[in-house]
Chains A and B, each alone.
Chain A
Amino acid sequence: MSTPATMPVIERGTATSRIAAMAVAIIITLLAIAPQLLSAGAVDRMTALFIYVILAAMWNALAGFGGLVSVGQQVFFGLGAYFAIRLADAGLNPFLALFASGIVVGVVSIPLSLFMLRLRNGEFAIGMWVIAALTHLLVNLDRLVQGETGTSLISLNVYDAGTRRATIYWLALASMTALLAILFGLLRGSTGAAIRAIRDNEDAAASVGVRVTGTKRLLFVLAAFGIGIAGALWLATSITFQPKTYFNVQWTAYMIFMVLVGGIGTFEGAILGALAFFLIETWFGGTGVWYLVGLGATAVLFSLFLPRGLWGTIEERFGLRLLPVGYRVRLAAASADDDAMPSPQQTTMHQEKA
């Protein structure tokens, strides 16, 4: 790389990203008033989409940024629903119980992290799966749940269907926005630099004084909390709780699919992946088994041929950043260029720094 005489410019955003930030604000406002305009079915589907975005973003936080691929994240999804049932049964307002449940899941994940974060790569991945399987069996033992028969969030029935639907929609939208904002803040702040250093090379990061375990624990607990909320919200939309459905590994399969397709390790990628998954489910979900075969096959193909996912590839090719969490270095010589058409050199640079 040539060294230009002039100082390079370090930027946190681009013109595109400033437009994107405004677009995000507009989209969220539109989504907030949407239930007035949409049909009941559409509101339910949108709620599902918000939950998918949470799942994708949280799994991406763990795998894409923390380098921790877990195949057992369904444990937090199931626990989120289970604790919501338990708290509501204890007399807590059901809507409050959804969030209290997320917090309980987050707290539970702290001692778990002490243990599991010592495992590496594949061992962590299956180790989490074992935890999920064991938790599923233990939840089945709870008399309230009645084994695989399951139970329901009965106390939600005091609200009429319309209020319930709209409230859950807004709760899901608010949770999604808040969790994405937390993640975004985390990645842009000083922790973000540590997270990206760990993602790129854990040993090197540790050698320059990055608190590897602490940072990973933060991501692990955040992911547990977020996925717990997602599980509780899913319970609120479907009312019934059958352990088999919630502790099913398919939830992790969906998360992996969304993140792999969208772009692992990119903030926008997880959202794009959730959107893609939502559309695929809407169009092909009815085809049953072939739909699942297709999901698996797509995941395999992406991991082999497009491991950076759709967004990662777009970003690489066009140097586009909508919601920048990193820094980009613009060499003074190239600064005259249009933002939308960065030189290859620039692209490489920002990729390194991102």
Chain B
Amino acid sequence: MSNQIIQGILLGGYYALIACGLSFMFSVMRIINLAHGSLAVFAAYALWLLASRFHVSPFAGLLIVLPLMAAIGWALQRFLLERSARGGALLPILTTFGLAIVIDNLLFEQFGADTRSLAPYIGSLSYDSWEWPGNIYVGKLAVIMFATAVVLLGGLQLFLTRTRLGRSIRATSEDPDTAGLVGVDARRANAIAAAIAMVTVGLAGAFLGMRATFDPYAGAPQLLFAFEAAVIGGAGSLWGTLIGGIVLALAQTLGAQVHPQGFLIGGHAVFLVVLFVRLSASGLGVRGLLRLGRTS
């Protein structure tokens, strides 16, 4: 049992990775990007293409894919979200949902229905494991994934608090107009924030491909996982996302123990329970469950 708990915690690292971009974008721009999962799957396909056609290892491939994702994030903000956000809070949901449909089906058109994985291209890393005391085997990949999540969350936190750019992004998220008064370019801050969010999405896509299989329509479940982890983690800090991811993964692990189909049910159920508790605790009209608040 303790073995499963440890696997669950490590899987939580993946969920934190995919969730942090979603909640980061939401807290800066107040937009939930429904194409979030599809973009992660897109990154996984890009790495797969590099590995299978050009024999570039997925880790080296990140050097190409992450800048590409950053560019996509920047363009996404400049050409789609900025315009659509002007039409109110509801329009970006529709825009990004339409975008998700386009991405999913283009991937299907290009790569077909076969499931793919990056596992064959990372050598023995996909199955290597360390033995820990107590006869517990932990996969090296899972540990790397978890460590990446911790480093990424910590790095983002430092970036937001310690750098000038990070502070201007936070200022924009608090109040774009006032930030503008003191000389912060809100458009630039938002575009950079979107680029950063997409880099985390690219990383999440890489680990999705390495630890499991994916197909063109795998984006939707990833979006749901990201959303659930972010909401469970709740407002406060980026570290909440890590806790949210771990709780989600543990619930899924537990669900799988109870029933063969319980993996996903367990995850969704814990999400609803947390949501219910938080809603009843805060009374009516919760604004922004995902909001990171004053990122300290």
Chain A residues in contact with chain B, CB under 8 A?
63, 67, 69, 71, 115, 118-123, 125-127, 129-131, 133-134, 137-138, 140-141, 213, 249, 253, 256, 260, 289-290, 292-293, 295-300, 303-304, 307
Contacts and interface: CB of A to CB of B under 8 A. Distances in A.
B268 A134 contact: yes
- Majority SS of interface residues in chain B? helix
Given A71-B97, A137-B261, 16 more contacts: A67-B90, A71-B34, A119-B286, A120-B286, A120-B287, A122-B26, A122-B92, A134-B265, A134-B268, A134-B269, A260-B94, A260-B98, A296-B105, A297-B102, A300-B98, A304-B83
B59 interface: no
Contacts, number: 129
Nearest to A135: B268
A121 B89 contact: yes
Contacts of B285: 118, 120
9 contacts: A63-B90, A118-B279, A122-B32, A126-B224, A130-B228, A130-B271, A130-B272, A256-B98, A292-B101
A118 B268 CA distance: 18
Contact of B95 (A123, A249, A303): A303
A63 B100 CA distance: 19
Contacts of A140: 261
Nearest to A138: B265
B31 interface: yes
Nearest to A127: B275
Contacts of A131: 272
- Nearest 7 A/B pairs, CB to CB: A122-B32, A296-B101, A299-B98, A296-B102, A300-B98, A134-B268, A303-B95
A122 B84 contact: no
B227 interface: yes
Given A118-B286, A122-B32, A303 B98 contact: yes
Nearest to B99: A300
- Majority SS of interface residues in chain A? helix
Contacts of A123: 32, 231, 288-290
A123 B98 CA distance: 17
Contacts of B264: 133-134, 137
Interface string B280-293: 00001111111000
B87 interface: yes
Contacts of A290: 105, 109
A289 B108 contact: yes
Given A118-B286, A126-B227, A303-B91, A296 B265 contact: no
A299 B80 CA distance: 12
Residue in A122, A125, A253 with the greatest tally of chain B CB atoms within 10 Å: A122
A115 B276 contact: yes
Interface string B94-123: 110111111001101100000000000000
